[in-house]
Structure 1
Amino acid sequence: MKSKIVHTSKPVVLVGGGQCDPAVLIDALNATEVVVAADGGAQRCIDAGRMPDVIIGDMDSLSAEVRLGLPAGIVHQIDEQDSTDFDKCLRNIQSPLVLGYGFLGARLDHQLAALTVLVRRADRLCLLIGDEDVACVVPPSLTLALPVGMRLSLFPMGPVRGRSQGLKWPIDHIDFAPNARIGTSNEVSGPVRLAMDRPQMLVILPIEALPALLSGLAASPSRWPEATD
């Protein structure tokens, strides 16, 4: 296994430079022991009153002035341009849970890039948290206690099949693909159970579903295998 920059048995809050509600971010930073910033996300952490423990990225968004004021040893510059700062961070964090703030909202291209990384690093338990929604890769099996009528969207990032219980429109025997059948705007009809045949399906829920999603992921008995790169 390749050495990681961050090794912790605690959840990690990972902060990007994108759109993020300052009050929500402050609450998240105050509730966690380990904070990692993706490049310019360091400025967001500092503005929220918390110095990140580690900063990872190519550092093209971190001003020289801010960098001069940082404690020694917290910056880990990775200059290669074949991956995003989010990918650089996620592949270098060993943690039971990563909560990503500042990766959803504002620029659509940044959102799509972040969602692609979620699938590429599906072995990492990572949730992206925005102002309106929360998103993650569906593990091999997932049970969720959600209120009847809540929106539940499933978006395939590649070919994938699955099974479901507790959805208004079941997904069994459907061949999903991003350029074919997708599963947005489904609706909870009872206790939700999902099973997927490969790590290509995103579940997207309203932000108020975050506690239930965290509980469901913690109780999930299986994970996707680690990426080889």
Structure 2
Amino acid sequence: MVRVLIIGNSDLPERNLVNDLIDSSDKIIACDGAVERCLDASINVDYVVGDMDSLENTTLAELSKMGIEVQKLDDQNNNDLQKAINFSSEIGADRINIIGVEGGSNQHQFASYWCLFETEVECYIHLSDSIVSMVKNGRVKLSIEKEKEFSIFAIGDCDGVNVSGGKWQLNNEKLTPNSRGLHNLANDETITISCNNGMLLVFRSR
């Protein structure tokens, strides 16, 4: 399994979590200017991906001398996170973890969630208080501590939604975009969520 860690150019979660994700990763990708945050934090990066419009103190030549492979992509139809996710797929990623997407523009953070639906690779966004993932026409089992909150939100109409392992179960329900799935409670250390037709965004509290 190839595990990739993508680091965005916004605030990082607490350092212990960052270190755990680094230790469990085979490759680390920085999104554009995030590479300078990584250098300042002594995080070793394998690739930097983006249009390179956010670099302030480091040149591409300097990055290359450090052994960081530069993937300059000028595609304006995708943000730097989507470019990094696409590149992760190209290098054979089986799982993608993402940090560094919170604390900046709300528009950028919202766009980050949509990026989860643009890949078939198992993908997780790690926020300071939760982990965000998606379910698309399928079934997932997710680890969680007992009594921790989790929420599911329909992205469009979703048919055949099932939730087990929570205080409030769903059985072959239809969900529409609303707040119905907010703040369920885990009764077990695993929750199972499925959707026959549609897409769900899942938040698990840490």
For the criterion TM > 0.5, the same-fold answer is yes
What is the identity, as a one-letter code, of the residue corresponding to 1:62? L
What is the identity, as a one-letter code, of the residue corresponding to 1:103? V
| Superposition misfits of 4+ residues, deviation over 3 angstroms | 144-148
Rounded to whole Å, the distance in 2 between the matches of 1:65 and 1:146 is: 40
Rounded to whole Å, the distance in 2 between the matches of 1:62 and 1:199 is: 38
Q: CA deviation at 1:138?
A: 2.5
Q: CA deviation at 1:31?
A: 4.2
* Contact 1:15/1:41 (<8 A) preserved: yes
Rounded to whole Å, the distance in 1 between the matches of 2:58 and 2:145 is: 48
Q: How does 1:147-186 map to 2 (within 5 A)?
A: 147-161=145-159, 162-178=161-177, 180=178, 182-186=180-184
Q: Does 1:83 align with 2:72?
A: no
Distance 1:12 1:144, change over 3 A: closer
Q: How does 1:1-229 map to 2 (within 5 A)?
A: 9-21=1-13, 23=15, 24-63=17-56, 65-71=58-64, 74-94=69-89, 95-121=93-119, 123-138=120-135, 140-161=138-159, 162-178=161-177, 180=178, 182-190=180-188, 191-198=190-197, 200-207=199-206
* Contact 1:38/1:89 (<8 A) preserved: yes
What is the identity, as a one-letter code, of the residue corresponding to 1:38? C
* Contact 1:97/1:126 (<8 A) preserved: yes
Deviates more, 1:103-112 or 1:138-147: 138-147
Q: What are the Cα deviations for residues 46-82 of structure 1, in whole angstroms up to 9, with x where unaligned?
A: 1221331111111111226343421257111111211
Deviates more, 1:127-136 or 1:50-59: 50-59
Deviates more, 1:76-85 or 1:132-141: 132-141
Distance 1:120 1:145, change over 3 A: closer
* Pairs aligned (count): 197
Distance 1:109 1:98, change over 3 A: same
* Contact 2:3/2:95 (<8 A) preserved: yes
State the match for 1:218 in structure 2.
none
* Contact 2:50/2:73 (<8 A) preserved: yes
- Hey, which of these two has a bigger chunk of strand by percent? 2
TM-score of the pair, normalised by structure 2: 0.84
Distance 1:86 1:117, change over 3 A: same
Gaps of 5+ in 2: none
Percent identity, aligned pairs only, is: 22
Q: CA deviation at 1:175?
A: 2.5
Rounded to whole Å, the distance in 1 between the matches of 2:108 and 2:133 is: 16
What is the identity, as a one-letter code, of the residue corresponding to 1:28? L
Q: CA deviation at 1:165?
A: 1.7
Distance 1:47 1:27, change over 3 A: farther
Q: What are the Cα deviations for residues 176-203 of structure 1, in whole angstroms up to 9, with x where unaligned?
A: 233x454111112345222112451111
TM-score of the pair, normalised by structure 1: 0.76
SS at match of 1:114: helix
Rounded to whole Å, the distance in 1 between the matches of 2:176 and 2:36 is: 37
